[in-house]
Structure 1
Protein backbone atom coordinates (compact mmCIF):
# COMPACT_ATOMS: atom_id res chain seq x y z
CA UNK A 1 0.00 0.00 0.00
CA UNK A 2 1.33 3.43 -0.93
CA UNK A 3 2.00 5.68 2.06
CA UNK A 4 2.46 9.45 1.94
CA UNK A 5 5.81 10.10 3.65
CA UNK A 6 4.52 12.85 5.93
CA UNK A 7 1.83 10.48 7.23
CA UNK A 8 4.47 7.84 7.91
CA UNK A 9 6.64 10.34 9.76
CA UNK A 10 3.71 11.67 11.77
CA UNK A 11 3.06 8.15 13.07
CA UNK A 12 6.66 7.96 14.28
CA UNK A 13 6.19 11.25 16.12
CA UNK A 14 4.08 9.41 18.68
CA UNK A 15 7.26 7.66 19.89
CA UNK A 16 10.39 8.75 21.72
CA UNK A 17 12.94 9.04 18.90
CA UNK A 18 16.71 9.42 19.07
CA UNK A 19 19.66 9.57 16.69
CA UNK A 20 23.38 9.53 17.58
CA UNK A 21 25.51 12.30 16.13
CA UNK A 22 29.23 12.19 15.29
CA UNK A 23 29.66 15.86 16.30
CA UNK A 24 31.57 16.99 19.33
CA UNK A 25 28.95 18.77 21.43
CA UNK A 26 29.64 21.20 24.26
CA UNK A 27 27.22 22.96 26.57
CA UNK A 28 28.12 25.95 28.71
CA UNK A 29 26.30 27.27 31.74
CA UNK A 30 27.19 30.57 33.40
CA UNK A 31 30.39 30.67 31.38
CA UNK A 32 31.50 27.19 32.54
CA UNK A 33 31.62 24.15 30.27
CA UNK A 34 29.34 21.56 31.86
CA UNK A 35 29.25 19.07 28.95
CA UNK A 36 31.96 18.08 26.49
CA UNK A 37 31.05 14.89 24.64
CA UNK A 38 31.28 12.97 21.38
CA UNK A 39 28.44 10.69 22.46
CA UNK A 40 25.49 13.08 22.31
CA UNK A 41 22.23 12.00 20.72
CA UNK A 42 19.44 14.02 19.19
CA UNK A 43 16.16 13.32 20.97
CA UNK A 44 12.58 14.06 19.98
CA UNK A 45 10.07 13.44 22.74
CA UNK A 46 6.69 12.15 21.52
CA UNK A 47 4.92 14.81 19.42
CA UNK A 48 7.90 17.17 19.58
CA UNK A 49 8.90 18.35 16.10
CA UNK A 50 12.34 19.81 16.80
CA UNK A 51 15.14 17.89 18.50
CA UNK A 52 17.03 18.54 21.71
CA UNK A 53 20.39 17.17 22.78
CA UNK A 54 20.68 14.34 25.27
CA UNK A 55 24.15 13.68 26.67
CA UNK A 56 25.61 10.86 28.75
CA UNK A 57 25.34 11.52 32.47
CA UNK A 58 28.99 10.51 32.73
CA UNK A 59 29.94 13.50 30.51
CA UNK A 60 28.14 16.10 32.64
CA UNK A 61 30.69 17.94 34.79
CA UNK A 62 28.16 20.26 36.39
CA UNK A 63 26.26 19.15 39.48
CA UNK A 64 23.26 17.00 38.57
CA UNK A 65 20.37 16.73 41.00
CA UNK A 66 16.76 15.59 40.92
CA UNK A 67 14.25 18.41 40.81
CA UNK A 68 10.59 18.95 41.53
CA UNK A 69 8.28 18.47 38.58
CA UNK A 70 8.29 21.89 36.89
CA UNK A 71 5.33 21.10 34.66
CA UNK A 72 4.61 23.48 31.79
CA UNK A 73 1.52 23.92 29.68
CA UNK A 74 1.31 22.28 26.28
CA UNK A 75 0.86 24.42 23.17
CA UNK A 76 -0.62 22.06 20.56
CA UNK A 77 -0.53 23.03 16.88
CA UNK A 78 -1.05 21.35 13.51
CA UNK A 79 1.58 21.58 10.80
CA UNK A 80 -1.07 21.31 8.11
CA UNK A 81 -4.80 21.91 8.10
CA UNK A 82 -6.60 18.92 9.57
CA UNK A 83 -3.34 17.26 10.55
CA UNK A 84 -2.70 15.62 13.92
CA UNK A 85 -1.61 18.02 16.66
CA UNK A 86 2.03 18.27 17.58
CA UNK A 87 3.77 20.32 20.25
CA UNK A 88 4.57 23.88 19.27
CA UNK A 89 8.34 24.42 19.74
CA UNK A 90 7.48 27.42 21.93
CA UNK A 91 6.16 24.98 24.55
CA UNK A 92 8.44 25.24 27.58
CA UNK A 93 11.01 22.53 28.27
CA UNK A 94 9.19 21.54 31.47
CA UNK A 95 6.41 19.89 29.45
CA UNK A 96 7.36 16.25 28.81
CA UNK A 97 5.55 13.52 26.90
CA UNK A 98 7.59 10.56 28.06
CA UNK A 99 8.27 9.08 31.48
CA UNK A 100 11.35 10.32 33.26
CA UNK A 101 12.86 12.38 36.06
CA UNK A 102 13.20 16.18 36.08
CA UNK A 103 16.75 17.24 36.93
CA UNK A 104 18.85 20.35 37.27
CA UNK A 105 22.45 21.05 36.27
CA UNK A 106 24.32 23.58 38.41
CA UNK A 107 27.62 25.34 37.79
CA UNK A 108 28.49 28.01 40.33
CA UNK A 109 25.46 30.27 40.72
CA UNK A 110 23.90 29.19 37.40
CA UNK A 111 21.29 26.44 37.09
CA UNK A 112 19.76 24.84 33.99
CA UNK A 113 16.93 22.36 33.53
CA UNK A 114 17.43 18.76 32.46
CA UNK A 115 15.34 15.63 32.10
CA UNK A 116 16.36 11.99 32.48
CA UNK A 117 14.07 9.91 30.22
CA UNK A 118 13.24 6.45 31.51
CA UNK A 119 13.91 4.86 28.11
CA UNK A 120 17.37 6.47 27.86
CA UNK A 121 18.28 6.13 31.51
CA UNK A 122 22.01 6.74 31.12
CA UNK A 123 21.43 10.13 29.51
CA UNK A 124 19.91 13.51 30.29
CA UNK A 125 18.16 15.85 27.91
CA UNK A 126 19.21 19.46 28.45
CA UNK A 127 16.96 22.49 28.05
CA UNK A 128 18.46 23.97 24.91
CA UNK A 129 17.50 27.55 25.82
CA UNK A 130 19.13 27.28 29.24
CA UNK A 131 22.65 26.62 27.93
CA UNK A 132 25.09 27.96 25.36
CA UNK A 133 26.00 25.36 22.75
CA UNK A 134 28.87 24.47 20.45
CA UNK A 135 28.93 21.82 17.73
CA UNK A 136 32.65 21.31 17.16
CA UNK A 137 33.79 24.97 17.36
CA UNK A 138 30.65 26.58 15.93
CA UNK A 139 27.95 28.09 18.16
CA UNK A 140 24.39 26.95 17.42
CA UNK A 141 21.11 28.62 18.34
CA UNK A 142 17.38 27.95 18.33
CA UNK A 143 17.66 24.18 18.51
CA UNK A 144 19.93 21.49 17.02
CA UNK A 145 19.47 20.91 13.31
CA UNK A 146 17.30 17.99 12.31
CA UNK A 147 19.45 15.67 10.14
CA UNK A 148 16.31 14.36 8.45
CA UNK A 149 15.13 17.77 7.30
CA UNK A 150 16.64 20.09 4.70
CA UNK A 151 16.20 23.46 3.07
CA UNK A 152 16.41 24.07 -0.69
CA UNK A 153 16.55 27.57 -2.18
CA UNK A 154 15.73 27.97 -5.87
CA UNK A 155 15.69 31.00 -8.17
CA UNK A 156 12.30 31.39 -9.83
CA UNK A 157 10.72 33.46 -12.60
CA UNK A 158 7.24 32.73 -11.24
CA UNK A 159 5.12 35.88 -11.20
CA UNK A 160 4.39 36.59 -7.54
CA UNK A 161 1.95 39.26 -6.43
CA UNK A 162 1.38 40.12 -2.75
CA UNK A 163 -1.79 41.95 -1.74
CA UNK A 164 -3.57 42.88 1.47
CA UNK A 165 -7.28 43.70 1.25
CA UNK A 166 -6.85 44.48 -2.45
CA UNK A 167 -3.84 46.74 -1.91
CA UNK A 168 -0.73 45.85 -3.92
CA UNK A 169 2.18 45.30 -1.55
CA UNK A 170 4.83 43.61 -3.71
CA UNK A 171 5.23 42.17 -7.17
CA UNK A 172 8.17 40.18 -8.49
CA UNK A 173 9.30 37.64 -11.07
CA UNK A 174 12.77 37.17 -9.57
CA UNK A 175 12.09 35.59 -6.21
CA UNK A 176 14.07 33.02 -4.36
CA UNK A 177 11.77 30.22 -3.21
CA UNK A 178 12.74 28.43 -0.01
CA UNK A 179 11.45 24.87 0.37
CA UNK A 180 11.56 23.44 3.89
CA UNK A 181 9.99 19.98 4.10
CA UNK A 182 6.42 20.11 5.45
CA UNK A 183 6.25 23.91 5.80
CA UNK A 184 4.77 26.12 3.06
CA UNK A 185 7.18 27.25 0.36
CA UNK A 186 8.39 30.74 1.22
CA UNK A 187 8.89 33.49 -1.36
CA UNK A 188 11.86 35.79 -0.72
CA UNK A 189 11.53 38.96 -2.81
CA UNK A 190 14.08 41.67 -3.61
CA UNK A 191 13.36 44.79 -1.56
CA UNK A 192 13.12 46.79 -4.77
CA UNK A 193 10.05 44.72 -5.70
CA UNK A 194 8.17 45.73 -2.54
CA UNK A 195 6.05 48.65 -3.73
CA UNK A 196 4.27 49.48 -0.46
CA UNK A 197 6.00 51.14 2.47
CA UNK A 198 7.13 48.82 5.25
CA UNK A 199 8.38 49.87 8.66
CA UNK A 200 10.51 47.89 11.14
CA UNK A 201 8.66 45.97 13.84
CA UNK A 202 10.02 45.29 17.34
CA UNK A 203 9.27 41.58 16.79
CA UNK A 204 12.41 39.45 16.59
CA UNK A 205 12.51 35.69 16.09
CA UNK A 206 15.21 33.09 15.62
CA UNK A 207 15.40 30.10 13.28
CA UNK A 208 17.98 27.41 13.94
CA UNK A 209 18.67 27.21 10.21
CA UNK A 210 18.30 30.77 8.92
CA UNK A 211 19.38 32.90 11.88
CA UNK A 212 17.82 35.96 13.52
CA UNK A 213 14.83 37.47 11.72
CA UNK A 214 13.74 41.10 11.63
CA UNK A 215 10.02 41.72 11.11
CA UNK A 216 8.18 44.34 9.08
CA UNK A 217 4.74 45.92 9.22
CA UNK A 218 2.78 47.60 6.43
CA UNK A 219 2.55 51.36 6.82
CA UNK A 220 -1.13 52.28 6.98
CA UNK A 221 -2.13 48.60 7.11
CA UNK A 222 -3.78 48.70 10.54
CA UNK A 223 -3.84 45.58 12.67
CA UNK A 224 -3.82 43.33 9.60
CA UNK A 225 -0.57 44.90 8.46
CA UNK A 226 1.40 44.20 11.64
CA UNK A 227 4.28 41.74 11.23
CA UNK A 228 3.30 40.65 7.73
CA UNK A 229 6.89 40.07 6.58
CA UNK A 230 10.36 39.23 7.77
CA UNK A 231 13.93 39.32 6.55
CA UNK A 232 17.26 37.78 7.52
CA UNK A 233 19.94 40.44 7.37
CA UNK A 234 22.82 38.14 8.29
CA UNK A 235 21.85 34.50 7.61
CA UNK A 236 24.42 31.70 7.83
CA UNK A 237 26.78 31.34 4.87
CA UNK A 238 24.85 28.36 3.49
CA UNK A 239 21.79 30.61 3.05
CA UNK A 240 23.61 33.83 2.23
CA UNK A 241 21.54 34.33 -0.93
CA UNK A 242 18.43 35.30 1.08
CA UNK A 243 20.22 38.08 2.99
CA UNK A 244 18.14 41.25 3.03
CA UNK A 245 15.30 39.82 0.95
CA UNK A 246 11.72 40.20 2.17
CA UNK A 247 9.39 37.27 2.79
CA UNK A 248 5.68 37.71 3.47
CA UNK A 249 3.58 35.42 5.64
CA UNK A 250 1.23 33.73 3.16
CA UNK A 251 -0.96 33.12 6.21
CA UNK A 252 -1.54 36.89 6.59
CA UNK A 253 -1.53 38.28 3.04
CA UNK A 254 -3.04 37.30 -0.31
CA UNK A 255 -0.64 35.66 -2.76
CA UNK A 256 -1.18 35.39 -6.51
CA UNK A 257 1.15 33.02 -8.40
CA UNK A 258 1.20 33.31 -12.18
CA UNK A 259 -2.21 34.95 -12.06
CA UNK A 260 -3.82 32.35 -9.79
CA UNK A 261 -4.92 33.35 -6.28
CA UNK A 262 -3.62 31.04 -3.58
CA UNK A 263 -5.47 29.80 -0.52
CA UNK A 264 -3.92 31.08 2.70
CA UNK A 265 -2.25 28.13 4.45
CA UNK A 266 -3.17 27.29 8.04
CA UNK A 267 -0.02 26.99 10.16
CA UNK A 268 1.16 27.98 13.64
CA UNK A 269 1.82 31.47 12.18
CA UNK A 270 -1.72 32.06 10.92
Structure 2
Protein backbone atom coordinates (compact mmCIF):
# COMPACT_ATOMS: atom_id res chain seq x y z
CA UNK A 1 0.00 0.00 0.00
CA UNK A 2 1.28 3.45 -0.93
CA UNK A 3 1.89 5.84 1.99
CA UNK A 4 1.39 9.60 1.92
CA UNK A 5 2.69 12.01 4.56
CA UNK A 6 -0.05 14.65 4.85
CA UNK A 7 1.27 17.88 6.39
CA UNK A 8 -1.59 20.21 7.31
CA UNK A 9 -3.94 21.12 10.15
CA UNK A 10 -6.65 19.11 11.86
CA UNK A 11 -9.92 21.06 12.08
CA UNK A 12 -12.68 19.29 13.97
CA UNK A 13 -15.44 21.28 12.23
CA UNK A 14 -15.40 22.39 8.60
CA UNK A 15 -14.55 19.17 6.71
CA UNK A 16 -11.19 20.44 5.52
CA UNK A 17 -7.47 19.71 5.71
CA UNK A 18 -6.81 16.35 7.42
CA UNK A 19 -10.47 15.43 7.88
CA UNK A 20 -10.81 15.76 4.10
CA UNK A 21 -7.50 14.19 3.08
CA UNK A 22 -7.60 11.07 5.26
CA UNK A 23 -10.92 9.60 4.01
CA UNK A 24 -10.19 10.47 0.38
CA UNK A 25 -6.74 8.90 0.38
CA UNK A 26 -8.01 5.89 2.32
CA UNK A 27 -10.86 5.09 -0.07
CA UNK A 28 -8.46 5.52 -3.00
CA UNK A 29 -6.19 2.84 -1.57
CA UNK A 30 -3.40 4.89 0.03
CA UNK A 31 -2.42 5.16 3.68
CA UNK A 32 -2.59 8.73 4.99
CA UNK A 33 0.09 9.47 7.60
CA UNK A 34 -0.83 12.80 9.24
CA UNK A 35 1.75 15.33 10.37
CA UNK A 36 -0.52 17.99 11.92
CA UNK A 37 0.57 21.62 11.74
CA UNK A 38 -2.12 22.76 14.19
CA UNK A 39 -5.31 21.57 15.87
CA UNK A 40 -8.45 23.68 15.52
CA UNK A 41 -11.80 23.17 17.21
CA UNK A 42 -13.27 24.55 13.96
CA UNK A 43 -11.78 25.93 10.76
CA UNK A 44 -10.95 29.63 10.84
CA UNK A 45 -14.07 30.91 9.05
CA UNK A 46 -16.21 29.96 12.04
CA UNK A 47 -17.04 32.89 14.33
CA UNK A 48 -15.25 31.23 17.25
CA UNK A 49 -12.54 28.58 17.40
CA UNK A 50 -9.68 27.29 19.52
CA UNK A 51 -6.22 26.68 18.00
CA UNK A 52 -3.21 24.78 19.29
CA UNK A 53 -0.20 25.55 17.10
CA UNK A 54 2.06 22.50 16.68
CA UNK A 55 5.07 24.16 15.05
CA UNK A 56 7.46 23.06 17.80
CA UNK A 57 6.32 19.44 17.48
CA UNK A 58 6.74 19.08 13.72
CA UNK A 59 10.46 18.13 13.83
CA UNK A 60 9.67 15.38 16.34
CA UNK A 61 7.54 13.56 13.78
CA UNK A 62 10.46 13.61 11.35
CA UNK A 63 12.86 12.42 14.05
CA UNK A 64 10.64 9.51 15.09
CA UNK A 65 9.82 8.47 11.54
CA UNK A 66 13.53 8.55 10.70
CA UNK A 67 14.25 6.23 13.64
CA UNK A 68 11.67 3.82 12.22
CA UNK A 69 13.20 4.09 8.72
CA UNK A 70 9.82 5.08 7.30
CA UNK A 71 9.51 6.04 3.63
CA UNK A 72 6.71 7.78 1.76
CA UNK A 73 5.45 7.44 -1.79
CA UNK A 74 3.79 10.84 -1.56
CA UNK A 75 4.09 14.02 0.48
CA UNK A 76 1.10 16.37 0.50
CA UNK A 77 1.33 19.80 2.13
CA UNK A 78 -1.60 22.11 2.86
CA UNK A 79 -2.44 24.79 5.42
CA UNK A 80 0.46 26.01 7.54
CA UNK A 81 0.40 28.64 10.29
CA UNK A 82 3.56 30.54 9.33
CA UNK A 83 6.99 30.63 7.71
CA UNK A 84 8.66 28.60 10.49
CA UNK A 85 6.46 25.65 9.59
CA UNK A 86 7.65 25.82 5.98
CA UNK A 87 11.23 25.68 7.25
CA UNK A 88 10.32 22.47 9.10
CA UNK A 89 8.67 21.08 5.94
CA UNK A 90 11.77 21.82 3.85
CA UNK A 91 13.88 20.03 6.47
CA UNK A 92 11.39 17.14 6.36
CA UNK A 93 11.88 16.92 2.60
CA UNK A 94 15.64 16.62 3.07
CA UNK A 95 14.98 13.31 4.86
CA UNK A 96 11.90 11.90 3.14
CA UNK A 97 11.62 13.34 -0.38
CA UNK A 98 13.31 10.76 -2.59
CA UNK A 99 13.55 10.30 -6.36
CA UNK A 100 10.41 8.14 -6.43
CA UNK A 101 8.38 10.38 -4.06
CA UNK A 102 5.65 12.68 -5.41
CA UNK A 103 5.46 16.07 -3.67
CA UNK A 104 2.13 17.89 -4.00
CA UNK A 105 2.08 21.40 -2.56
CA UNK A 106 -1.23 23.17 -2.03
CA UNK A 107 0.09 26.70 -1.28
CA UNK A 108 -2.71 27.77 1.06
CA UNK A 109 -2.35 31.54 1.51
CA UNK A 110 -5.66 33.18 0.57
CA UNK A 111 -8.81 33.13 -1.53
CA UNK A 112 -11.15 35.44 -3.46
CA UNK A 113 -8.45 38.11 -3.69
CA UNK A 114 -7.72 38.24 0.05
CA UNK A 115 -4.71 36.80 1.88
CA UNK A 116 -5.40 34.86 5.06
CA UNK A 117 -4.61 36.46 8.43
CA UNK A 118 -1.42 34.45 8.90
CA UNK A 119 0.02 35.71 5.59
CA UNK A 120 3.08 37.97 5.48
CA UNK A 121 6.06 38.56 3.19
CA UNK A 122 8.16 36.04 5.09
CA UNK A 123 5.59 33.31 4.54
CA UNK A 124 5.38 34.14 0.83
CA UNK A 125 9.16 33.96 0.48
CA UNK A 126 9.26 30.55 2.15
CA UNK A 127 6.29 29.30 0.14
CA UNK A 128 8.07 30.22 -3.08
CA UNK A 129 11.01 28.12 -1.87
CA UNK A 130 8.72 25.18 -1.11
CA UNK A 131 6.88 25.22 -4.45
CA UNK A 132 10.22 25.17 -6.28
CA UNK A 133 10.69 21.65 -4.91
CA UNK A 134 7.20 20.41 -5.82
CA UNK A 135 6.12 18.00 -8.53
CA UNK A 136 2.52 19.23 -8.48
CA UNK A 137 1.23 22.63 -7.28
CA UNK A 138 -2.47 23.41 -6.79
CA UNK A 139 -2.91 27.16 -6.15
CA UNK A 140 -6.25 28.86 -6.42
CA UNK A 141 -6.36 32.08 -8.45
CA UNK A 142 -5.45 34.26 -5.45
CA UNK A 143 -2.47 32.07 -4.56
CA UNK A 144 -1.30 31.98 -8.17
CA UNK A 145 -1.33 35.78 -8.13
CA UNK A 146 0.68 35.88 -4.89
CA UNK A 147 3.27 33.43 -6.23
CA UNK A 148 3.71 35.16 -9.59
CA UNK A 149 3.11 38.83 -8.82
CA UNK A 150 0.02 39.01 -11.03
CA UNK A 151 -2.45 41.59 -9.75
CA UNK A 152 -5.71 39.91 -8.72
CA UNK A 153 -7.53 43.20 -9.28
CA UNK A 154 -6.23 43.43 -12.86
CA UNK A 155 -7.87 40.10 -13.70
CA UNK A 156 -11.29 41.54 -13.03
CA UNK A 157 -10.83 44.31 -15.55
CA UNK A 158 -11.37 41.71 -18.25
CA UNK A 159 -14.94 41.58 -19.45
CA UNK A 160 -14.70 38.43 -21.53
CA UNK A 161 -13.74 34.88 -20.66
CA UNK A 162 -11.03 34.49 -23.31
CA UNK A 163 -8.85 37.39 -22.08
CA UNK A 164 -9.44 36.45 -18.44
CA UNK A 165 -8.33 32.85 -19.00
CA UNK A 166 -5.37 33.98 -21.12
CA UNK A 167 -4.06 36.13 -18.26
CA UNK A 168 -4.36 33.23 -15.80
CA UNK A 169 -2.72 30.88 -18.28
CA UNK A 170 0.26 33.22 -18.66
CA UNK A 171 0.66 33.42 -14.86
CA UNK A 172 0.44 29.64 -14.62
CA UNK A 173 3.06 29.20 -17.34
CA UNK A 174 5.32 31.62 -15.46
CA UNK A 175 4.92 29.51 -12.32
CA UNK A 176 5.64 26.36 -14.33
CA UNK A 177 8.88 27.86 -15.68
CA UNK A 178 9.96 28.90 -12.20
CA UNK A 179 9.23 25.52 -10.60
CA UNK A 180 9.28 22.90 -13.40
CA UNK A 181 6.17 21.42 -11.76
CA UNK A 182 2.72 20.46 -13.01
CA UNK A 183 0.41 23.40 -12.25
CA UNK A 184 -3.32 23.07 -11.59
CA UNK A 185 -4.95 26.45 -10.91
CA UNK A 186 -8.25 25.93 -9.12
CA UNK A 187 -11.39 27.94 -8.46
CA UNK A 188 -11.34 29.92 -11.72
CA UNK A 189 -14.54 31.93 -12.08
CA UNK A 190 -14.40 33.78 -15.42
CA UNK A 191 -16.70 36.67 -16.34
CA UNK A 192 -19.84 35.61 -18.18
CA UNK A 193 -22.76 37.32 -19.84
CA UNK A 194 -25.85 37.68 -17.68
CA UNK A 195 -27.66 35.16 -19.89
CA UNK A 196 -24.96 32.51 -19.43
CA UNK A 197 -24.86 30.13 -16.45
CA UNK A 198 -21.91 30.81 -14.14
CA UNK A 199 -19.12 28.26 -14.14
CA UNK A 200 -16.06 27.50 -12.06
CA UNK A 201 -13.08 25.64 -13.37
CA UNK A 202 -9.54 24.40 -13.17
CA UNK A 203 -6.61 24.95 -15.52
CA UNK A 204 -3.94 22.29 -15.93
CA UNK A 205 -0.62 23.61 -17.21
CA UNK A 206 2.24 21.29 -18.14
CA UNK A 207 4.97 21.41 -20.79
CA UNK A 208 3.73 24.76 -22.15
CA UNK A 209 0.26 23.29 -22.73
CA UNK A 210 -2.89 24.21 -20.87
CA UNK A 211 -6.27 22.56 -20.53
CA UNK A 212 -9.24 24.35 -18.95
CA UNK A 213 -12.29 22.48 -17.71
CA UNK A 214 -15.29 23.81 -15.84
CA UNK A 215 -18.50 22.82 -14.07
CA UNK A 216 -21.65 24.83 -13.17
CA UNK A 217 -21.17 27.23 -10.24
CA UNK A 218 -23.80 28.15 -7.66
CA UNK A 219 -21.90 31.21 -6.45
CA UNK A 220 -21.04 29.80 -3.01
CA UNK A 221 -17.59 29.12 -1.55
CA UNK A 222 -17.50 26.00 0.62
CA UNK A 223 -14.95 25.04 3.26
CA UNK A 224 -12.57 22.25 2.28
CA UNK A 225 -13.26 21.92 -1.45
CA UNK A 226 -9.65 22.77 -2.32
CA UNK A 227 -8.41 20.18 0.18
CA UNK A 228 -10.71 17.53 -1.27
CA UNK A 229 -9.63 18.41 -4.80
CA UNK A 230 -5.91 18.14 -4.08
CA UNK A 231 -6.44 14.94 -2.09
CA UNK A 232 -8.14 13.29 -5.07
CA UNK A 233 -5.18 14.32 -7.22
CA UNK A 234 -2.74 12.74 -4.77
CA UNK A 235 -4.85 9.59 -4.48
CA UNK A 236 -4.95 9.28 -8.26
CA UNK A 237 -1.20 9.76 -8.54
CA UNK A 238 -0.68 7.03 -5.96
CA UNK A 239 -2.74 4.73 -8.22
CA UNK A 240 -0.57 5.60 -11.21
CA UNK A 241 -3.26 7.63 -12.98
CA UNK A 242 -2.44 10.73 -15.00
CA UNK A 243 -3.35 14.22 -13.83
CA UNK A 244 -5.86 14.89 -16.62
CA UNK A 245 -7.91 11.90 -15.45
CA UNK A 246 -7.42 12.90 -11.81
CA UNK A 247 -8.82 16.39 -12.43
CA UNK A 248 -11.92 14.97 -14.13
CA UNK A 249 -12.46 12.57 -11.23
CA UNK A 250 -12.08 15.37 -8.67
CA UNK A 251 -14.56 17.56 -10.57
CA UNK A 252 -17.13 14.77 -10.76
CA UNK A 253 -16.72 13.99 -7.06
CA UNK A 254 -16.96 17.61 -5.91
CA UNK A 255 -19.85 18.47 -8.22
CA UNK A 256 -21.94 15.67 -6.70
CA UNK A 257 -20.99 16.69 -3.15
CA UNK A 258 -21.72 20.39 -3.74
CA UNK A 259 -25.09 19.71 -5.37
CA UNK A 260 -26.12 17.59 -2.39
CA UNK A 261 -24.85 20.23 0.05
CA UNK A 262 -26.80 22.93 -1.76
CA UNK A 263 -30.01 20.89 -1.77
CA UNK A 264 -29.61 20.15 1.96
CA UNK A 265 -28.99 23.88 2.61
CA UNK A 266 -25.85 23.04 4.62
CA UNK A 267 -23.97 26.20 5.71
CA UNK A 268 -20.94 26.79 3.49
CA UNK A 269 -18.69 27.16 6.53
CA UNK A 270 -19.46 23.54 7.48
CA UNK A 271 -18.04 22.11 4.23
CA UNK A 272 -19.60 19.82 1.66
CA UNK A 273 -21.44 16.51 2.07
CA UNK A 274 -18.66 14.49 0.46
CA UNK A 275 -18.88 11.33 2.54
CA UNK A 276 -21.73 9.68 0.63
CA UNK A 277 -19.88 10.24 -2.64
CA UNK A 278 -16.56 8.65 -1.66
CA UNK A 279 -17.75 5.61 -3.63
CA UNK A 280 -17.12 7.61 -6.82
CA UNK A 281 -13.40 7.45 -6.03
CA UNK A 282 -13.18 3.67 -5.82
TM range (shorter): under 0.3
TM-score of the superposition, structure 2-length normalised? Answer: 0.27
More strand by share: 1
More helix by share: 2
Larger RCO of the pair (alpha carbons < 8 Å, separation 6+): 2
